[in-house]
Amino acid sequence: MSAEPRQFGFETRMLHAGHIPDPYTGARAVPIYQTTSFVFDDPDYAAQLFELKQYGNIYTRIMNPTTAVFEERMASLEGGTGAVATASGMAAQFLTFYTLLQPGDEIVSSAHLYGGTTTQFTHTFQKMGVTVKFVNPSDFEAWERAITPKTRALYGETIGNPKGSILDIERLAQLAHAHRIPLIVDNTFATPYLCRPIEWGATIVVHSATKFIGGHGNSIAGVVVESGKFDYSHFPTIAAPSGAYHGLKFYETFGHYGFLMKLRAETLRDVGACLSPFNAFLLIQGLETLSVRMERHVQMLVEDLPGQGFSVSALCPFESRFTAALRASGCQVHIAMLEEALEWRSLLAATEIIRRQQVSIVHTHLFNATLLGSLAGGVMGVPIVVTIHGMQIVPEDLALARLVGSHLITVCSAAYMTGLAMGLQDDQISLIPNGVDTQRYRPDIDGRPFRDRLRLPDNARLVGMVARLAREKGPDQFVRAASLVASARPDVHFVLVGDGPLRRDVTREIQAAGLTDRFHLVGVISDTTPIYPALDVVCLSSRQEGQPLTLLEAMAAGRPVVATSVGGIPELVQMGETGWLVAQGDMKAMSEQIL
């Protein structure tokens, strides 16, 4: 059995990522390769480099070994697939958009931006035929209203400069994914030590490395980091044949690295806004103290607030030199041992909201929110109600309930009976089945606009599933059932509404089944009322469930349903009357019921 690859911590990667000590001299530090050009072994090798058939150093305007260490280190710290360094932060965002966009395209951007960015977006981009619409970053309806079929990206700053507003990256990422466009985030002020936007769903992260990354005021620089998770197949600027490279298709050829290769090999090469090797070396030195400097910034903020009339308390995940420094400054420190996946800063924000808004009750859904809400509510002495949406109560739910005295609400009998069997008393747990608004979900709603959006043939049948693309929902099983149906009925099309961690896997399964032309992945759609009337059959191939709203919505809309018999689903579906049930995993039976 092979050993698991070692996972290095942030500070280790901050010091060493992207660099292997020189095998010839044994030098520990990163060398400065202060050269313009490189020697090629022979003409054939040079030709392969210039045709991008071989990866290697061509010219420092495009790549350089010192700069490459800085790029790989930034990609590691941000959690990206790779990075391209640039001459400045302004160059980083310009090269990003110049690579993505073409005349006529639009961007929707937060209005809380660095002044230079606003000027670039307003005036320089106008010369390129690109329109930028600015919105209040906290007004999500404004974001959605501003998106049109021409919109090619959403943009914002983690911490708006100079207003200090905080961007809700996760929510914006969901909106961007629903419209199949990238979310681009300027993470200059937070740095990857305090926030990593890719972990919250961002596609591309840009930095003015001049500021906190460099940290010493000696180098102007920028960097672009890409997640490697976005599907650029519908972006002609990335996926179409490149005239500059004899018809090379960057996304098809380089896959998850296609955007960065296009940016480096075409845009950076032609615009010339490259980083000098010496500045890359200075930035690498700056990165080595990033964590220390960012902790000190936070500490200085905490130390300064009491002088402005604030009473400061800190909730920290563990004891450290940082908590000792906070106590020394007169700050009251609370320690909450949290899982690594939960940001302790979120807990601090939650307790502050409870205090400021005088919250009377905390109501949570799903485990991460329950962990955060239970700890925050417990610290503030506020009653906590937890809704369990699944078919069972896990030990972690029970432990939290006993720790903070929360009341559990279950949505199906299976979960309710599990709670009682685990020792909860009647006054600690309730059964409240899910419900839907039957005035919204009705059989008389016109489904044609959704079918038109999919460009279906007039005689096509449409089988659909509305669910998060996660293992417990079984989207892969739905694809297998669809493949069986498709082989018997060439007139049937399929649609998956939703997004999630299995999207790329599901896409590959659709391609492997030869269903690309008949299977539609439409992402998240916030208003599902017009979807169900467009479907001839609604499926749910879950491996585990509580009491799924999608089946209630489908039945309220008068649609027949076929679902796996798991969790609370049998409580909803009456076999042969309101739908059909099949055993979990039996996709042959599901395909037969669909037919």
Paired tokens of 153: 């990206």
Contact in structure between 514 and 424 (CB atoms under 8 Å): no
**Integer Cα distance of 366 and 521 in angstroms:** 25
Compute φ and ψ for 558, nearest 5 degrees: 75, 25
Residue spans in the chain of domains classed CATH 3.40.640.10: 64-287
CA angle (34, 53, 249) in 5-degree steps: 115
**Integer Cα distance of 192 and 223 in angstroms:** 13
CA distances from 201 to 55, 178, 229, 254 (A): 29, 12, 9, 22
**Integer Cα distance of 65 and 181 in angstroms:** 32
- For the range 162-166, what are the long-range contacts, defined as Cβ-Cβ under 8 Å and sequence gap of 24 or more? 162/114, 163/112, 165/110, 165/112, 165/137, 165/138
CB hemisphere CA count around 594 (13 angstroms): 35
Question: Which architecture characterizes domain 64-287 according to CATH?
Answer: 3-Layer(aba) Sandwich (3.40)
Residue spans in the chain of domains classed CATH 3.40.50.2000: 448-594
Query: How do the pLDDT tens digits run along the chain, 595 residues long?
Result: 445 567 788 888 888 888 888 777 778 889 999 999 998 888 888 888 888 878 888 899 999 999 999 999 999 999 999 999 999 999 999 999 999 999 999 999 999 999 999 999 999 999 999 999 999 998 999 999 999 999 999 999 999 988 888 899 999 999 999 999 999 999 999 999 989 999 999 999 999 999 999 998 899 999 999 999 999 999 999 999 999 888 999 999 999 999 999 999 999 999 999 999 999 999 999 998 998 888 888 777 777 777 777 666 665 656 777 788 778 877 777 665 544 445 556 677 778 778 776 778 888 877 777 788 888 888 888 888 888 876 667 777 787 788 888 898 887 777 788 788 888 888 888 888 877 788 888 888 888 888 888 888 888 899 999 998 888 899 999 999 999 999 999 999 999 998 888 888 899 999 998 998 899 998 888 788 889 999 999 999 998 877 788 888 999 989 999 999 887 788 888 787 778 999 888 899 899 888 8
Residue 563 burial by Cβ neighbours in a 10 Å radius (0-12, 13-18, 19+): buried
Residue-wise DSSP of 83-128: EEEESSHHHHHHHHHHHH--TT-EEEEES---HHHHHIIIIIHHHT
CA angle (240, 243, 245) in 5-degree steps: 95
CA distances from 134 to 105, 475, 504 (A): 15, 36, 31
What residues contact 552, with CB distance under 8 A and at least 6 apart? 434, 435, 436, 441, 572
Contact in structure between 241 and 248 (CB atoms under 8 Å): yes
Residue spans in the chain of domains classed CATH 3.40.50.1100: 344-433
Chain center to CA of 523 = 13
**Integer Cα distance of 357 and 565 in angstroms:** 43
At the topology level, CATH places domain 344-433 in Rossmann fold (3.40.50)
Paired tokens of 121: 């977006």
At the topology level, CATH places domain 448-594 in Rossmann fold (3.40.50)
